[in-house]
Amino acid sequence: MCLAATMLAGGAFVLASAGVAAEPAKDEKAAEVGARKHLRLLTTQQYLNTVQYVFGPDITVDVKFAPLMRTDGVLMAATSIAGVGDAQLETYQKIANLLSTQVIDPRNRESLIPCKPADEKAADRECAGKFLTRVIDALYFVPPPKEHIARLVDEAGTSADRMQNFYAGLQVVLEGVLLSPSVLLVAEKEEPDPKRPGQMRLDASSQAARLSLFLWNAAPDPALRAAANRGDLFDARKRSRLVDAMLASPRLETGVRAFFDDMFGLEDLETLSKDSTVYPYFLGGVSDQAREQTLRTVVDQLLTKNGDYRDIFTSRATFLSPQLGILYGVKTLPGWNAYEFPPEAQRAGILTHASFLARASHATRSSATLRGKALRELIMCQKVPPPPANVDFSAVENPDPRLRTARERVNQHLENPVCAGCHRITDPIGLSLEKFDGAGRYRETERGAEIDPSGTLDGKEFADVVGLSQALRDSPALPSCLVRRAYSYATASVVPPSSNAMLAQFGKTFASDGYRLRPLLRAIAMDPSFSVVSTPTPAPEKSAAVSQSTNVASNN
């Protein structure tokens, strides 16, 4: 096998992609930054992916867990810090109740319960045991003691007798299992690392969970857990084979969609609304489709075509639904269809998708500032500071009616020294997107005045949005931001400044792999820092944020 996954003692080598020789990457110190061990909450989608992998996609609910707070640029990092209040438990209980009721429903029990009770009106501990053992094995990310399974089976029996109904007894226990902290939480555990005396690593099941949540957006399935428990993840060659198998699985698409949904802030589209008097063509449901358009485009370019990450910002190839066709002024057939914008169109890259344009706009108008800010923060990992407390908003909130275009209005920002510092970071790039209105539809004019879409990005000048997309594609911040977000997402952690050298190294590998996604995911999944446990460094989040905002300021 020519897989270059050679894990040396001490983990001093970064592992590159298949077929490329491993190169010495970092010194011991860099490897030690690692990630901390976490108690992670499953996201709604992770929970459903996990449960549906066991019971099938028909067992479902349309209920969402409490929203997460974007932490250092990614939602996933918040799963390691978010609390769970009583109301959240009530949500879990509601979901568990609905799901378990569906499982034991006469329509489903035939296929989902592997046996039939001797008497439906009484307990059958053998059948209940068969079912619950399988379910717990598939759902609990660490196997519980045998006595605990016995305890739950017994509970199902007692309940069945009490209610004189085998399935009712099974349902109450399944409901309990489905809201168990062993299913909804992933408690990572450390153990001494035999290869680095005195240091700690994540134990086998924690590593399996981390890999699976990262690549598949679901808790590990029994096969992966079994492999982990055999020690395969500690064996470089076997780990490499496992990771490759995960990257080759169709479940990778689920994982990649979840990652980019997180990175590009697409969850905002769930609640996005537009003023229908201003944007009557922003039809109900179109924001969900805009989200889907971007995710399909990303998956197509990065997985199906195995393309360069940077090209998603310039590519004219995408997928459209009829409702998006209305917004974009394009003929469309029902369903999703591949579409390529013609060369003369101003739509190139995901900045020109409604998922970006409409998301970073107000309900009644476009916003150069919001778009510039979203581009800086989500895509380039730069921090735009909030407005200072003493700012006078009257000029922008009650704009002079004679100022017709956004450019004329936001010049207010740039003339006022209090505003100019930050708005110089956002507005010149946002203004080049002004040819798209607040719903994302193309326009030539605003209130009768021609729109000038020229702008600059970090010193590079361009005439229109196609130029902006090209400038962005060529910006070094673009791939380095993806690396940062992917690592943070993979480890559900805020990346401390001490990890910058390690990220830079991932960046180099990413570049040498032609900015293709799979090798990057592989490099992260194989990297020792993914699996070792570091000692926490104090208050990493704050210093990270500060250093990033300084970064931007110095760029301008």
For residue 520 the two structure tokens come to 């990057």
Of positions 47, 260, 279, 462, contacts other proteins by CB under 8 A: 279
- Cβ neighbors of 212 (< 8 A, separation 6 or more) are 218, 219, 220, 221, 224, 246
Q: How far apart are the first and last CA of the chain?
A: 49
Closest CB to other proteins among residues 13, 282: 282
Q: Does 50 bind other proteins (CB under 8 A)?
A: no
Closest CB to other proteins among residues 240, 366: 366
Q: Does 179 bind other proteins (CB under 8 A)?
A: yes
Q: Interface with other proteins by CB under 8 A: which range of 162-170, 233-241, 412-420, 496-504?
A: 162-170
How many positions of this chain bind other proteins (CB under 8 A)? 92
Q: Which of residues 61-100 bind other proteins (CB under 8 A)?
A: 62, 69, 71, 78, 80-90, 92-94
To the nearest 10°, report the CA torsion of 550, 81, 492, 189.
130
Question: Would you tell me the crossing angle of helices 204-216 and 517-526 to the nearest 10 degrees?
Answer: 170
Closest CB to other proteins among residues 209, 517: 209
Q: Interface with other proteins by CB under 8 A: which range of 164-172, 403-411, 418-426, 474-482?
A: 164-172
For residue 35 the two structure tokens come to 């990630």
Q: Interface with other proteins by CB under 8 A: which range of 232-240, 411-419, 441-449, 451-459?
A: 441-449
Q: Which of residues 112-141 bind other proteins (CB under 8 A)?
A: none
For residue 284 the two structure tokens come to 């109900």
Q: What are phi and psi of 528, to 5 degrees?
A: -55, -35
Q: How far is the CB of 88 from other proteins (least distance, A)?
A: 7
Closest CB to other proteins among residues 13, 279: 279
- Residue 289 contacts residue 282 (beta carbons within 8 Å): no
Closest CB to other proteins among residues 172, 526: 172
Closest CB to other proteins among residues 62, 397: 62
- CA torsion sign for 210, 212, 214, 217 is negative
Of positions 74, 103, 172, 252, contacts other proteins by CB under 8 A: 172
Closest CB to other proteins among residues 36, 251: 36
Q: Which of residues 336-365 bind other proteins (CB under 8 A)?
A: 337-342, 344-347
Q: How far is the CB of 515 from other proteins (least distance, A)?
A: 26
- Residue 512 contacts residue 285 (beta carbons within 8 Å): no
For residue 187 the two structure tokens come to 């408690």
Closest CB to other proteins among residues 476, 536: 536
Q: Interface with other proteins by CB under 8 A: which range of 147-155, 383-391, 416-424, 449-457?
A: 147-155
Question: Would you tell me the crossing angle of helices 166-178 and 125-139 to the nearest 10 degrees?
Answer: 20
Q: Does 148 bind other proteins (CB under 8 A)?
A: yes
Q: How far is the CB of 293 from other proteins (least distance, A)?
A: 13
For residue 450 the two structure tokens come to 């021609």
- Residue 479 contacts residue 519 (beta carbons within 8 Å): no
Closest CB to other proteins among residues 243, 269: 269
Q: Does 420 bind other proteins (CB under 8 A)?
A: no
Alpha helices in 249-384 (DSSP H): 251-263, 286-299, 322-328, 354-357, 368-374
- Residue 294 contacts residue 266 (beta carbons within 8 Å): yes
Q: Which of residues 184-223 bind other proteins (CB under 8 A)?
A: 184-185, 187-189
d(CA 9, CA 528): 10
Q: Which of residues 516-535 bind other proteins (CB under 8 A)?
A: none
In whole angstroms, how large is the CA radius of gyration of the chain? 26
Q: Which of residues 473-502 bind other proteins (CB under 8 A)?
A: 494
Of positions 45, 52, 108, 180, contacts other proteins by CB under 8 A: 180
Closest CB to other proteins among residues 245, 463: 463
Closest CB to other proteins among residues 147, 397: 147
Q: Does 9 bind other proteins (CB under 8 A)?
A: no
Q: Does 107 bind other proteins (CB under 8 A)?
A: no
Reported as type and span, the H/E element at residue 191 is strand 190-192
Q: Interface with other proteins by CB under 8 A: which range of 178-186, 366-374, 401-409, 426-434?
A: 178-186
For residue 108 the two structure tokens come to 């489903």
- Cβ neighbors of 546 (< 8 A, separation 6 or more) are none
What is residue 74's three-state secondary structure?
Answer: strand
- Where does residue 461 rank: exposed (0-12), middle (13-18), buried (19+ CB within 10 A)? exposed
Q: Does 173 bind other proteins (CB under 8 A)?
A: yes
Nearest in space to 156 (alpha carbons), one of 147, 168, 138: 168
Of positions 182, 229, 249, 549, contacts other proteins by CB under 8 A: 182
Q: Interface with other proteins by CB under 8 A: which range of 159-167, 236-244, 291-299, 477-485?
A: 159-167
Q: Does 248 bind other proteins (CB under 8 A)?
A: no
Beta strands in 188-283 (DSSP E): 190-192, 200-202
Q: Which of residues 302-341 bind other proteins (CB under 8 A)?
A: 320, 322-323, 325-326, 328-335, 337-341
- Cβ neighbors of 235 (< 8 A, separation 6 or more) are none
